[in-house]
Structure 1
Amino acid sequence: MSWLLPTMLAVPGLGAALVSLLPAARDRQARIVATVFAAITFVLTLAPLPLRADRGDIWFAYGDRPVPPLLPWLNLDLPWVPALGLRFHLGIDGVSYPLVALTGLLTLLCCAYTVRKVPEGGGSGRTLTVLLLILEVGVLGTFLALDLILFFVFFEVVLLPMYAVIAGWGGENRRAAARKFVLYTLFGSVLLLLGVVLVVTKAGTGDLVALTGAAELSRTTQCVAFALLAVAFAVKAPLWPLHTWLPDAHTEAPTVGSVILAGVLLKMGTYGLIRVGVGVAPEGAAWAAPVLGVLAVVAILAGSLICLRQRELKRLIAYSSVGHMGFVLLGIATLTVTGLQAALLGNVAHGLITGLLFFLAGTIKDRAGTGSLAQLSGLRETAPRLAGLFGFAAVASLGLPGLAGFWGEAFAVIAAVQRGGPLWVILAVVAAVGGALTAAYFLRLLRGLTHGPATPTVHALRPSIAAAEWFAWAPLVLLTLVVGVLPALVLSETALPLTTLLGVHP
């Protein structure tokens, strides 16, 4: 079954190549073909699900201490550049699988969404779907890579396609937003490369299975490596104060660009912090944990306070991501299994809910011709279904119990309390206050957007919802409900790999 791993990467890559060869005159057919390839890839991401198994009783002995091994459900390890000792090593386990499946789903929904409508002002829909499939290759490769050099390569694959999506199909200031995205990301890439080279040079290997829990690096090396890696991943996530590229990118990006950016690209940063940062340099992570916790809480508060003042719909949702990613970082900073599970669940919940929010916000902005909240009052009078869906997504994002957004943020706070000590208790309390502010700005948003007298802009808004829109939104609504009721669907196979990443021994 290890053939599934390279096939997940080959199918969207082949789809991108095939679609790019189709004539420009067959633009709609090209978008349909791209959607078919995205659907096949999504089916492939579901295939490893039956392979999940409880391996909690399997331990290997390293010297006189038992260490839980990093045991992927699927594993492919082949020579890549033998002269340099580089290997093409892919694997999937309980930490990466939910994000792999989420990537397959959101790419499929975005490709299907383009079949109905291509953003104005850019190139062809064929080119846009090619870029979406290339993005899928890079993101999936990042989540599957178990070699540091390979991880870096896939991590960088997404840079140019995302730039092209923003610059080609975005709003009026799209080129400035795209340049800002590239400059920030390149800065992070330089630091990531330095961190990867340092680890590989000192450890003599880039294999994440060998590096995880094996204590191959000195404490000084781990601290330096973690500092480099943490800043690099903080840019991608993005985490405060390296977040300033995000609102511009989201505001100017087309709808599908915002969905992919929020749904999976941001997760590359937090996933990398868990898999590579904590896994390879646990002592460095412990050294930096208090600073990460403080930055996480500042992000939660800053994101909420900024959202209370925002008057542009997509920009408000973009800043809300800063706060939500703050809760993810708080969970990681606790360096506990509960905290890391909260971070993983927060990643998935944010991808589902914020992906839905950007789909809906993009639809509203496209139909109304504006994202200004001052011109979008009274949506429920003319488009009640659209208003109802947006209300559902908003209450899910503010953390209503029973929906996906609740568990990750609640357990990040609990993990901070369980970590113990005055600092962590204070951070937990302040984070909880930030959660209350999140509810405040989303309720304020709903009051302004859906209630009150309808503005002339909203009166002219087309209320009907197309079949392609239902297809894109319905899975996200359903999964937000399912994950909210059964969070174990995401967490059931995470305890053992997270125990290994943290270096916890029985």
Structure 2
Amino acid sequence: MMASMMASLSTNWLTLSIFVPIVFGLIVLAFGSDERPGATRLLALIGAIVSFLVTIPLYTGFDATTADMQFVEKSVWIPAFAVYYHLGIDGISLWFVLLTAFITIIVVMAGWEVITTRVSQYMAAFLILSGLMIGVFVALDGLLFYVFFEATLIPMYIIVGVWGGPNRVYAAFKFFLYTLMGSLLTLIAFIYLWNVSGGSFDIRTWQMMPLDYTPQVMIFFAFLAAFAVKVPMWPVHTWLPDAHVEAPTGGSVVLAAIMLKLGAYGFLRLSLPIAPDASQAMGPFIITLSLIAVIYIGLVAIVQSDMKKLVAYSSIAHMGFVTLGFFIFNTAGVEGAIVQMVSHGFVSAAMFLCIGVLYDRVHSRDIAAYGGVINTMPKFVTFFVLFSMANAGLPATSGFVGEFMVIMGAVEYDFWIGMLAATALILGASYSLWMVKRVAFGEIANDDVRNLQDLSSREFLILGILAIAVIYMGIHPKPFADVMHTSVEALLQHVSNSKL
């Protein structure tokens, strides 16, 4: 009796994870105002915290010993086309739900004093976006996945277009068009799969359905059109630096920490299990693109003069590690890639927040506008150096764990691919240390730096929370890997057994 009661209470945790932030976002939008910014911000923070709390039972009640979907919810949505409101999580998707809810709290706190106009719209956009992104990670119906995947574009488009920099309209349109156009082929693939499966949008059914090699290749490239842009992979990455530079700090945080992961997650949930033979055949092609991103984009990051652009390009390089890990088809590579995604969520968020701290004071992202910041902001520089080291993959930080696992997996796959991937550690240290040296150390460069005020208690709290996450994951990554291990093994077993 008690077990059944607990089961009934836990059946809707995924729905709550999606719709609690959306509902709070609508409440903030309806009742918040610039005349009462304090109350509006507090309501948004309460909404973000409650939204995170309802995801906690997903972790505490998760069974890491099975690869089956858990917390499953299913009900009819569009009966005429057998479309279901079908949700579930496994060890691959769990961490991204928690990460999304966690980062939303950080973003609301980060915009507490910075955003002074249209406060309710700003906070509501992030809360609604949080719910939509969680929807992508838990959807088990193809059409439902597509609706959530595309709907995330709307609040992010508004965030960049309304609160962004001088070229915000251009950046917002470029972001929207790139990601929308890529996704249209995915919709065609979904319709094809619905047709050949006998009228089902169930993703698990698609994964178990045997397909000939040619249809698999077509489906793989249809998915690639959407997911490669979202990651983004080279050469369809050019929208990301523009979006990051023009987006407000919170927009850059969510874009790097969560939205890039939607594309990478698509490879794991759709491309590999639905088109396993095509995925293996196209593995060398994806590995080549990934290595170009790791090496070439790393070199591009070194020559950047804008801090935001530098970190944006470093994100592309780090996501190259992720796609590399997926397509070497071994446990170390795939688990390392997922760990890298989670770590990048913490580290990239922290890096963009650090840049936002400086920008709020000096109103410049140009590296040349700084120098000797440590003399006036020692607390800030402590965090800045830590996160930069994590961005470079320093051992004992989260940035090292995923990269090391992917490199080990790549060496197992092919020694020279592993060697090429390892150059990322050198390049990461180059652009990260070069930026830190010019911004933080040396003599005070100008009056703007001389007049800087160190971190406020709110800023210290935000960066401190992220620092704890980065160090804890770097020192004790086992809990993160344990949750995903069974699901990753099942995915790789499915891919290897499906070879024609």
Say yes or no: TM over 0.5: yes
Coarse TM-score class (shorter-chain normalised):
over 0.9
1:127 corresponds, among 121, 131, 134, to 121
1:466 Cα deviation from its structure 2 partner: 2.0
In 1: Cα distance, 2:210 partner to 2:160 partner: 41
In 2: Cα distance, 1:402 partner to 1:435 partner: 14
Corresponding residue SS for 2:483: coil
1:317 Cα deviation from its structure 2 partner: 0.4
Give the aligned residue type for 2:313.
Y
Structure 1 unaligned segments of length 5 or more: list them. 57-69
In 2: Cα distance, 1:444 partner to 1:192 partner: 40
Does the CA-based 8 Å contact 2:197-2:209 persist in structure 1?
no
Structure 1 equivalent of residue 446 of structure 2: 456
Corresponding residue SS for 1:370: coil
1:459 Cα deviation from its structure 2 partner: 2.6
Structure 1 equivalent of residue 106 of structure 2: 109
- RMSD over aligned Cα atoms: 1.6
Matched, 1:443 2:438: no
Give the aligned residue type for 2:202.
D
Structure 1 equivalent of residue 205 of structure 2: 210
In 2: Cα distance, 1:126 partner to 1:217 partner: 48
Matched, 1:479 2:476: no
In 2: Cα distance, 1:306 partner to 1:111 partner: 32
Matched, 1:8 2:21: no
Corresponding residue SS for 1:303: helix
Structure 1 residues 155-180: Cα deviation after superposition (integer angstroms, max 9, x where no partner): 01111110110111111111111111
Matched, 1:354 2:367: no
Does the CA-based 8 Å contact 1:45-1:104 persist in structure 2?
yes
1:289 corresponds, among 283, 305, 316, to 283
Corresponding residue SS for 1:494: helix
The number of residue pairs the alignment matches comes to 485
In 1: Cα distance, 2:415 partner to 2:108 partner: 44
In 1: Cα distance, 2:347 partner to 2:226 partner: 25
In 2: Cα distance, 1:72 partner to 1:445 partner: 44
Give the aligned residue type for 1:207.
D
Give the aligned residue type for 2:185.
L
In 2: Cα distance, 1:361 partner to 1:467 partner: 17
| Residues 55, 211 of structure 1: alpha-carbon distance in 2 compared, 3 angstrom cutoff | farther
Give the aligned residue type for 1:106.
I
Structure 1 residues 196-253: Cα deviation after superposition (integer angstroms, max 9, x where no partner): 22222223322222333x2432222111111110221010111111110000111111
1:461 Cα deviation from its structure 2 partner: 4.3
Does the CA-based 8 Å contact 1:110-1:472 persist in structure 2?
no
Matched, 1:19 2:28: yes
* Aligned 1:78-477 pairs, distance under 5 A: 78-118=75-115, 123-204=117-198, 205-212=200-207, 214-419=208-413, 424-477=414-467
Does the CA-based 8 Å contact 1:294-1:427 persist in structure 2?
no
Report which stretch shifted further, 87-96 or 462-471. Answer: 462-471
| Residues 54, 28 of structure 1: alpha-carbon distance in 2 compared, 3 angstrom cutoff | closer
1:378 Cα deviation from its structure 2 partner: 1.0
1:76 corresponds, among 56, 64, 73, to 73
| Residues 354, 258 of structure 1: alpha-carbon distance in 2 compared, 3 angstrom cutoff | same
Structure 2 unaligned segments of length 5 or more: list them. 1-9
In 2: Cα distance, 1:471 partner to 1:217 partner: 52
Structure 1 equivalent of residue 7 of structure 2: none
Structure 2 equivalent of residue 30 of structure 1: 40
Structure 1 residues 82-141: Cα deviation after superposition (integer angstroms, max 9, x where no partner): 11111111011211111111100010111122222206xxx4111100100111111000
Does the CA-based 8 Å contact 1:353-1:393 persist in structure 2?
yes
Structure 1 equivalent of residue 55 of structure 2: 45
Give the aligned residue type for 1:339.
G
1:458 Cα deviation from its structure 2 partner: 4.1
1:497 corresponds, among 476, 483, 487, to 487
In 1: Cα distance, 2:106 partner to 2:466 partner: 9
Report which stretch shifted further, 485-494 or 33-42. Answer: 485-494
Please list every run of at least 4 consecutive aligned residues from structure 1 whose deviation after the TM superposition is greater than 3 angstroms.
Answer: none
| Residues 102, 457 of structure 1: alpha-carbon distance in 2 compared, 3 angstrom cutoff | farther
1:499 Cα deviation from its structure 2 partner: 2.5
Under a length normalisation based on structure 2, what TM-score does the superposition of the two structures give?
0.94
Does the CA-based 8 Å contact 1:27-1:124 persist in structure 2?
no
Give the aligned residue type for 2:405.
F
Corresponding residue SS for 1:334: coil
Does the CA-based 8 Å contact 2:32-2:120 persist in structure 1?
no
In 1: Cα distance, 2:240 partner to 2:174 partner: 9
In 1: Cα distance, 2:45 partner to 2:169 partner: 27
Structure 2 equivalent of residue 62 of structure 1: none
